[in-house]
A and B are shown apart, each in its own frame.
Chain A
Amino acid sequence: MKHEEKQQQKIIFVTGKGGVGKSIFALALAQKYSQGQKVLLVELGLHSFYSDFLGVSVEYQPTPLSKNLDIALWSGAECLKEYALHLLKAESLYKLFFENRISRALIDVAPALSELAILGKATSGIRQVGPELSYDVIIVDAYATGHFMALLRAPRGMNESIQFGPMAEQTRTILKTIRDPQICEYAIVTLPEELPAVEAEELHQALVSEVGLNARIYCNKVWPQAEILKLKKESGTAGVRVSDAEMNFVQELESLVERQQVWIQYLKQRDSNMKLIPMVFSSEPRQIVTEVGKSLL
């Protein structure tokens, strides 16, 4: 009898400079995957961006968003709590620990601890620890560059300083998982501008050296070059009257796409298959998500 092989879970981390469009992109990507697979979209931290944006309440436990798409918000503390409960097996012990002033203070600052717990949670389905995470794809709308690298470095740092005990063991399997190209993908969202592009390039390198994987780069908010060049042609066509003001405007647009092209070429040296996502001229966020989604098809 033919046995249907269950497909391995995939985890996609979305990162990039602050404000470049990570959350919009992650949502569009999640919607795209949910057309055929079961998807969990995850936000990290204490505050949900999507909850205002989509008018749903977003919590630690997944909430259904649309067909095949759930959404959740993971804070370090909640992830740590779940891990502790998993190991301690008793709510009372857990309370003793987490409601103690000293342990609270430690958890707050001991940086690697909550970061480890977050990565532990993200990879828990694959590593088969803790509650079930039955999704085909987990998309993490992760932190911006600096914090994201701190997140990814946590297990290695922990592994270097602590070699024995339950946490050390967990750490080793987390490390293995985040370095496995069959399981984890890294997506860097950036813009065709100097600072975000340079940051994306550095982030790409940092990811290669930290997890040994090539991240995919997505260049967001790309102005319509072809359309603008067509306008330029129009302004140069004999018989078409174009005012000076219009000429100036076209020139402004032209230099804008020229500059943009410089950074696109720069980024392509890192990822020759880099995807371009168009600038959407809409102030309606949902419409932006839809348009961004179309470009991902």
Chain B
Amino acid sequence: MIDSHTKILVCIGSGGVGKTTIAASFGVWGALQGKKVLVLTVDPAKRLATTFGLKADGLEQRIPFPEAQGELWASVLNSKQIFDDFVQKATEKGADTSFIMKNKLYQQLSTTLSGSQEFTALEKLYSAYESQKYDLIILDTPPTKHAIDFFKAPQKISNLFSESIAKWFKQSKANHWAQTFIQMGTQKALDILQTLTGSEFVSELRDFFSSIETWQARLESRAKKINDLLLSKETAFNLITAFDSAKIEEAKVFADLMRKSGYQLKILTINRSFPNWLPKPFNTNTGIDQFCIKLNLYYEGRLNSFNLMTRAIKELDILMLPEYDHDIADLEGLKQLVNDYKWVKNTK
């Protein structure tokens, strides 16, 4: 499980599986253990945000939780703001950033779902980690098409910002790229891009790259530090999946991939695995009993295929969570969830 080395717990998984809810519950768990915990959350359900009084302003707020020995803190990630802050900090002091902020490509990059959300989540994680204010930081992750997109995103961004690319664009700007002494291949590639997209697009690109030059160095070193942190012993991952043979199979493949890449995958959480309200059959042979038998068979059927599959999973703790018949929208609900944590297989 999470040991004392663990300073960061990253909750990942595909869309809608319960990442935000479970990340919050680990925050509650940590605070109950006496830790000072920060939950970095993405787009929490409105009711959960309201009951916690959370604003989407990115500030770290303390959540009143009197019965906990530790402290529960939370912050709602605001991607655009983090990106803008980052640019502001990374540019030379007093430099004018309005030019870049107006660039269409920058606007797309900082607002769309093409990897910048993942990058900003990690950027915020790193600065919270650096502040050394917390014993444990829980990171909820943005909805991705596939859990693996989360890991690819920062690399993509850092590729784009790699120094050589910007240098190249800068040269091409200075000399109207046709006459520049640059790699022929790249020159041709850009000509092709121009054929495909038109010159307007290419000129937007050129403006973009020449204006980001100043914060490149910082972005590159930051990306590297973030990557090191994700691979360090202090960071544990919690992969969340739905209770479904197809989805668990998918999670297994992904878990292998993560481990091969060196990430510390510690927990596989199976959410909504069994209803917490379903009784055992009554043996009365009434219509009610028959319906109850049908439901039990259904959930047992799923459980069987689950057991077969998890036998193959090693060195992972499996956390089974029940399916509630209500939303989890407040501290009480989260405490209930922590109470219902069911660890199926402990490594130690």
Contacts and interface: CB of A to CB of B under 8 A. Distances in A.
Interface of A: 17-20, 44-47, 49, 52-53, 83-84, 87-88, 93-94, 96-97, 100-106, 108-113, 143-144, 146-147, 150, 157, 161-168, 193-196, 227-228, 230-231, 234-235, 240, 242-243, 245-246, 248-250, 252-253, 255-256, 259, 281-285
Contacts, number: 192
A157 B108 contact: yes
Nearest to A46: B146
B310 to A, nearest CB: 15
Interface of B: 14-17, 45, 104-105, 108-109, 112-115, 143, 145-146, 148, 156-157, 159-160, 162, 164-165, 168, 185-186, 188-190, 192-193, 195-201, 204-205, 242, 245-247, 249-250, 277, 279, 282, 284, 286-289, 291-292, 294-295, 297-298, 301-302, 304-305, 325, 327
Pairs of residues from A and B, 7 with the lowest C-beta to C-beta distance, nearest first = A165-B198, A18-B15, A18-B16, A111-B114, A283-B301, A100-B189, A281-B298
Contacts of B292: 246, 249
B104 A109 contact: no
A102 B165 contact: yes
Contacts of A283: 245, 298, 301-302, 304-305
Given A108-B156, A246-B284, A194 B327 contact: yes
A144 B145 contact: yes
B45 A230 contact: no
A105 B160 CA distance: 5
Given A18-B143, A144-B143, A166-B197, A150 B189 contact: no
Contacts of A249: 279, 282, 288, 292
A228 B201 CA distance: 59
B160 A93 contact: no
B250 A100 contact: no
A144 to B, nearest CB: 5
A9 B131 CA distance: 58
Given A17-B15, A52-B246, A102-B189, A165 B287 contact: no
Contacts of A243: 282, 284
B196 A167 contact: yes
Given A108-B156, A162-B198, A243-B282, 10 more contacts: A53-B246, A84-B196, A93-B192, A101-B159, A103-B192, A103-B193, A109-B114, A162-B197, A165-B199, A231-B288
Contacts of A245: 279, 282
Contacts of B287: 230-231, 234
A88 B195 contact: yes
A252 to B, nearest CB: 5
Nearest to A52: B249
A102 B168 contact: yes
Given A17-B16, A195-B45, A282-B301, A150 B113 contact: yes
B14 A18 contact: yes
B14 A19 contact: yes
Contacts of A53: 246
Nearest to B203: A162
A167 B201 contact: yes
Nearest to B18: A19
Contacts of B156: 105, 108-109
19 contacts: A18-B14, A47-B148, A47-B250, A84-B196, A88-B195, A96-B185, A100-B188, A101-B165, A110-B105, A162-B198, A165-B199, A230-B287, A231-B288, A235-B288, A242-B286, A246-B292, A252-B277, A282-B298, A283-B302
Nearest to A149: B113
B193 A106 contact: yes
A276 B270 CA distance: 27
A164 B198 contact: yes
B195 A109 contact: no
Contacts of B246: 49, 52-53, 285
Given A52-B249, A227-B291, A19 B145 contact: no
A106 B286 contact: no
Contact of B185 (A100, A234, A242, A284): A100
Most A Cβ at <10 Å: residue of B109, B157, B189, B245: B189
A85 B297 CA distance: 53
B160 A111 contact: no
Given A46-B146, A252-B325, A106 B160 contact: yes
A166 B164 CA distance: 28
A163 B288 contact: no
Contacts of B201: 161-162, 165, 167
A88 B165 contact: no
B113 A146 contact: yes
